[in-house]
């Protein structure tokens, strides 16, 4: 069972907007620790999408954005494209467990 | 290109040992902290171990503490994970990941990842 909770799956049609939530606790996100997001495709290395809650590495399109409030964070993807399909993971720090990840959310583009 | 590549994954009997390696290239390995993160197929990612750039600071997840040992060789740009007393629940794909931070552990993330190496634990 992951420390951070994500919905198992989300879906959307091409061009639509989807959001993926990441629920933490008072010892993780709620303690003010930053949230980071990764995409994982089968057989590929995880890819950093968002770091320090809202920042995109070079090469990540601005269709990807993220926010944090209280004990939760969310990733938003606008203008959904087929290539966005994959598994998305949030990550933060927990004062009890060090670095923690969410269970992952499978994004399906309909 | 900055990259890391894992190796050493294998089928090992329950209670056995295995040593994973991760070779880095394309960046100055000696100034970065490194991590091992694992993923059971179909499940989430789990952070396993951290080692600072000089190896002076090491942390482990509770699930592997006392059984796994992380180490590094900056002259070879490599990080290792020695695994002992392997259990069924240790079966996973093990990823090597470079660490980055905005200044504190609470802002620490992983910015370069490898594809992983599979560890299968047989009974």
pLDDT digits over B71-83, tens only? Answer: 999 999 999 999 9
Residue B35, chain A, CB below 8 Å: the answer is yes
User: Which residues of chain B does A2 touch, with a Cβ-Cβ cutoff of 8 Å?
Assistant: 44
Q: Residue B105 pLDDT > 90, yes or no?
A: no
| Averaged pLDDT of chain A | 95
Q: Residue A84 pLDDT > 80, yes or no?
A: yes
The shortest C-alpha distance from A102 to chain B (Å) reads: 6
Q: Residue B9 pLDDT > 80, yes or no?
A: yes
**Half-sphere exposure for A60 (CA within 13 Å, toward CB):** 19
B120: closest CA among B93, B95, B96? B93
d(CA B41, CA A19): 24
Nearest CA in chain B to A102: B44
d(CA B85, CA B65): 11
- Read off the pLDDT band of A2 (50, 70, 90): confident
Per-residue pLDDT, B36: 98
Q: State CA B30 to chain mean position distance.
A: 16
- Read off the pLDDT band of B123 (50, 70, 90): confident
Q: Show which residues on chain A lie within 8 Å of chain B, measured between beta carbons.
A: 2, 31-34, 36, 38, 40, 43-48, 51-52, 57, 89, 91, 93, 97-104
| Averaged pLDDT of chain B | 96
């Amino acid at each position: 069972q992951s420390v951070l909770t994500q919905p198992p799956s989300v879906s959307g049609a091409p061009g639509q907007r989807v959001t993926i939530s990441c629920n933490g606790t008072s010892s993780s996100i709620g303690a003010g620790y930053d949230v980071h997001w990764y995409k994982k495709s089968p057989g590929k290395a995880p890819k950093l999408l968002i770091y320090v809650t809202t920042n995109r590495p070079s090469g990540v399109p601005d269709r990807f954005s993220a926010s944090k409030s209280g004990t939760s964070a969310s990733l938003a993807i606008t203008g959904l494209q087929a290539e966005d399909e994959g598994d998305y993971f949030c990550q933060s720090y927990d004062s009890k467990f060090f670095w923690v990840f969410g269970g992952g959310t499978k994004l399906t583009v309909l | 290109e900055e990259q890391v590549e894992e190796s050493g994954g294998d089928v090992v009997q329950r209670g056995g040992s295995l040593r994973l390696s991760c070779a880095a290239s394309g960046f100055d390995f000696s100034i970065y902290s490194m991590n091992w993160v694992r993923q059971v197929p179909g499940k989430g990612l789990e952070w396993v171990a951290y080692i600072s750039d000089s190896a002076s600071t090491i942390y482990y997840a509770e699930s592997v503490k006392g059984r796994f040992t992380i180490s590094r060789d900056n002259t070879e740009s490599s990080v290792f994970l020695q695994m002992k007393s392997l259990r069924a629940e240790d079966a996973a794909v093990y990823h090597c990941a470079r660490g980055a931070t905005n200044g504190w552990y609470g802002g620490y993330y992983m910015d370069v990842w490898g594809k992983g190496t599979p560890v299968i634990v047989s009974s």
